[in-house]
Amino acid sequence: MRVTRLKNVRIVDGLQGSSRPTDLYILDKTLARKIPADLRIDADYDLENHVVMAGGIDIHTHIGGGKVNLARLLWPERSKKLDDQKPWLAPLSAPVPGTWETGRRYLQMGYTTCFEPAMLPANARQSHIEMRDTPWLDTGGYVVLGNDRMLLNMLASRASQQQVNDYVAWMVVSSAAMAIKVVNAGGIDAFKFNQRQLNVDETHPQLPVTPRDILWSLSTAAEELGLAHPLHVHCSNLGTPGNIDSTLATLDAVEGRRIHLTHAQYHCYGKSGPHGFSSEASKLADRVNRSNHISIDVGQVLFGQTITLSADTMHQFANRKLASPRKQIFQDLECQAGCGLLPFKYKESQYVHGLQWAIGLELFLRIQDPKRVFLTTDHPNGGPFTGYPHLIRLLMDYDFRMSIFDRLHRDVKATSSLPSLKREYRLDEIASITRLGPARALGLQQRGHLSPGSIADVVVYRNDDNAETMFANPVMVFRRGQLVLRNGEILDDCPKTVLVSEFETRSVAMQWGNHSSHREQWEKLYGYSPWLTALTDQEFADEGLDVEHALWQPAD
Amino acid sequence: MNQSHRRPEICSLCALVCELPDGSTESPRLDGFCSKQARLKPFVPIRLQSIQLQVSQDDAALTKVTQRIEQASAILVSGRIHSVESARSAIELANRFSATIDPWDSDGAFDAIASLQRVGGYSVSLGEARDHSDLWIVVGDDRLLEQTPRLPFAMHRGGSQRLLLLGTWSDASVRIWQAAGFEVLCLSVCVEGVPKYLSQATRLGQDHCQTELGKWILQAQYTTILYSPWALQVTYRDLWSDLLSRWVLTRNETARIATLCWGSLQSTFHQTCTWLTGFPGRIHFDNQQAFYDPNRFAAKDWCRRQDSGDQIARRSLLLWIDDSLDELPDELVEQNIPKLIIGPNQNKLACPSDLWLPTGIMGVTHSANIFRGDQTILAKIPVEGRGSPTHYLSPSDWVGRLLR
């Protein structure tokens, strides 16, 4: 057994107190606080004035799949490194870089686990293969349902919830998914029939189904199956002024079942104020604060050039004239969803962009439980994931936050309540929004914290008053006990794991695809059998990947 | 995961990646293959037998190959790369030896990519169009059916569906489209002008429309325009695509319409290269960094440049990786550039010094991941129970040995 000791470190994981220095041991691939006296220490690091956290977990980042690859294709230009002295602060070479660069840059920030949030069932194999080619990260994906015609037809014909559950279980297992994601429930399919908006209680143009029906049915399926992560929801009316109403209606639609609201910043807008666009972050934060069954990730906007990409074709198409530069790609995909990609530049001087920036921060600062609000930029939509250290500094340093706020459009400064929010995040709260909270929301019991027995994905940061410098440049990163990065330099490759959801009926879920009536319906719709796109564990083994099953457990 | 399910047999030899009908599972995989390459089928067993004999000499071959690579002053990695596995290997090889990489015959794909990078577009996948489209417009000529004979049957969902054929189509082809179940209107037009015809035909709106073409489009709820860049007889394919894409994007402001750009098996290379490097191909590696220039790093141009002088040609090396059953292109055979071929075909080697590392066939003797032509579905083609594939190395096996 290989033993590594991290001596005199300050352990910060959101669970235990973070006061005096202590020793942390890595025994092969897991963590311990004490070891038997006769055990020899193979590697010993004195880390006084350093902070140790678990490996970061990004709950929502677009890193693999058809639309991600299209974004790479759309943007062949490459940026130059801005700062050779601090390469870890250099911008990504492109808004959506190749897989190797993605893995390297995540590792260089101390992130070890990432989730692609929008895997089409038809495209799940590509998503997983791309993620397999993203080194140093353990990965998983959420399968996109809620615009798939199989489900819509089932709901229209008033199929039983048990039938829906069986279908959802098949989709989760055959896509090797961690969770179900719904994007603009029913709206993407409605757009294929030339409908340009679909509110929560509006009926689909062809079928007697509303988004509320879809949300209720899928959240029920997630809960009754016992999936590790609750229904992961991209609400209706993304980015539309006044969308707070449909966002709150979405939260109502699940009737108290667990729900995760993603890139919430884009879903809490009012339509008052000088430009008919205002913040309703306080309304959403208030709802989250009062409801233990809701978690969110923010989707913070960071200023600069990016590409927005989404399965929400309806709203991406509506925004197509905002593309900068003026080019855009849209797709209608395989009776399941679609995608839209627009290059986009967030500018400090632009009222809407400035307010979006402030709204994201408002959500972080107004939601009290840091284990239910998670740090994301919805990479690349709000900005690149390499902006996380900057975002952490915004949360930890009021003066720094205000120094940027002061540069925004005058109407943002006149109307935003951000200056009154004096809260500054503590280190343990940063650990919660980047590690512990996402791990809990995803049923990853052995990740996101540094308790004895947990997986030895460990990051060592040097204490620094400037949180951006601290979090951009970890001193060491261990993956499953193996030192893979030291002072920015990558030392070694490491084995990779695919994370999927465990649930009670998982072992029989694939039988759905053998049922003759299901096969007939599927083949009629798609023109091929359900097995053409279904993944097996063997495929992961062939690619040299381990599979880890995540299991939801109620919080203490 | 319960593995006791019925997995389909999948044909890997055209971009439709068709599931073979039940009952074919006991017969050789190629029995279900229907494209023009099927004529090569009888030679496959002979070829594989010869491969078996050659593999025993692999150590000597590897030494020779390594020397040749080390001596080369310029290297191009090219070929017909149809699987994720071979694409990864080819890219790794190019990266390691600071080579240029571009698949052969990539002009069609790069014209489509150039247009996408300039304008973008609105496209639709095959399954979506099949289920949802009430009007298909197919632009091109008979070559589309020669390459993918079952495409009309994969497009038709049953029931009444209209299909407009624009371009140069033989009567036999029209009959195939009809046999698939389409109500066909065939207009023999110069493909060059198609974006303009479509735009003009719909300009006046439904009430004033004079042409059958316009009426069909304006009456449709969802129109799909299918074309294949490699089967388009136009002078500037990229500009043609620009015009079509702009019209489609604008038309979607009030109606629903999309294009389906049908790619070849080589789409798999472009996809894989994009996720690994950020670029679809036509890149040159230098010091582990990829530099993209679609105009400078095209395989055919590289060969022409290297072939311009005897000395230059002799010092360069073409690493040809082949997942297909085809022979080496004639134009390449005629060139003086030394070649290292990693593929199932010995080919018509041009120089006595050319080398061949024989392989099995991806998707036949080795499991492979291959994209469907619309690049939405990545099909896994397993080869379990099909005789031991260990008799034949795959291209990635060879590359792995070379890199070690």
Interval B246-272: pLDDT, tens: 999 999 999 999 999 999 999 999 999
Q: Do A531 and B121 touch (CB under 8 A)?
A: no
Q: Where are the alpha helices (DSSP H) in A397-532?
A: 398-405, 410-415, 427-431, 437-441, 467-472, 516-526
Cis peptide before B45 (omega within 30 of 0): no
- Measure A482 CA to nearest chain B CA, in Å: 24
Nearest CA in chain A to B268: A126
pLDDT at B3 over 70: no
Q: Is the ipTM of this complex over 0.90?
A: yes
pLDDT at B44 over 60: no
Q: Do B376 and A99 touch (CB under 8 A)?
A: no
Question: Which residues in chain B touch residue A320, judged by CB atoms under 8 angstroms apart?
Answer: 249
Interval A356-368: pLDDT, tens: 999 999 999 999 9
Q: What angle do CA A174, A178, A183 make, to 5 degrees?
A: 90
Domain locations along chain A: 100-441
Mean pLDDT of chain B: 85
Question: Is the distance from CB of B379 to CB of A126 less than 8 angstroms?
Answer: no
How much is the pLDDT for A77?
A: 86
* Closest by CA position to B122, among listed B216, B246, B229: B246
Question: Which residues in chain A touch residue B17, judged by CB atoms under 8 angstroms apart?
Answer: 532
How much is the pLDDT for B51?
A: 45
| CATH fold match for the domains B45-105+267-403 and B110-261 | yes
pLDDT at A306 over 50: yes
Smallest Cβ distance to A125: which of B1, B158, B378?
A: B378
> Most confidently modeled of A183-187, A322-326, A489-493, B196-200?
A183-187
Out of 3.40.50.740, 3.40.50.2300, 1.20.58.340, 1.10.10.10, which CATH number does the structure's domain B45-105+267-403 have?
Answer: 3.40.50.740
Q: Do B2 and A331 touch (CB under 8 A)?
A: no
pLDDT at A490 over 80: yes
Q: Which residue has the higher pLDDT, B404 or A398?
A: A398
What CA–CA distances, in Å, run from B394 to A117, A404, B317, B403?
A: 34, 56, 21, 14
Domain locations along chain B: 45-105+267-403, 110-261
> Which amino acid belongs to residue B298?
A
Cis peptide before A384 (omega within 30 of 0): no
pLDDT class for A83, splitting at 50, 70, 90?
low
Q: List the structure tokens of A233.
A: 């929801």
The fold for domain A100-441 equals: TIM Barrel (3.20.20)
pLDDT at A302 over 90: yes
Interval A227-241: pLDDT, tens: 999 999 999 999 999
Q: Do A514 and B5 touch (CB under 8 A)?
A: yes
Please name the helix (run of DSSP H) or strand (run of DSSP E) that holds residue B311, with its range, or none. helix B310-315
pLDDT at A44 over 50: yes
Q: How far apart are CA B375 and CA B392, in angstroms?
A: 29
Q: Where are the alpha helices (DSSP H) in A110-160?
A: 124-132, 149-156
pLDDT at B32 over 80: no
pLDDT class for A209, splitting at 50, 70, 90?
very high
How much is the pLDDT for B389?
A: 46
Q: Which residues of A40-65 are buried (b: 16+ CB within 10 A; e: fewer)?
A: eeeeebebeebbbbbbbbbbbbbbbb
Question: Is the distance from CB of A499 to CB of A457 less than 8 angstroms?
Answer: no
Domain B110-261 carries which CATH code?
3.40.50
- Measure A549 CA to nearest chain B CA, in Å: 11
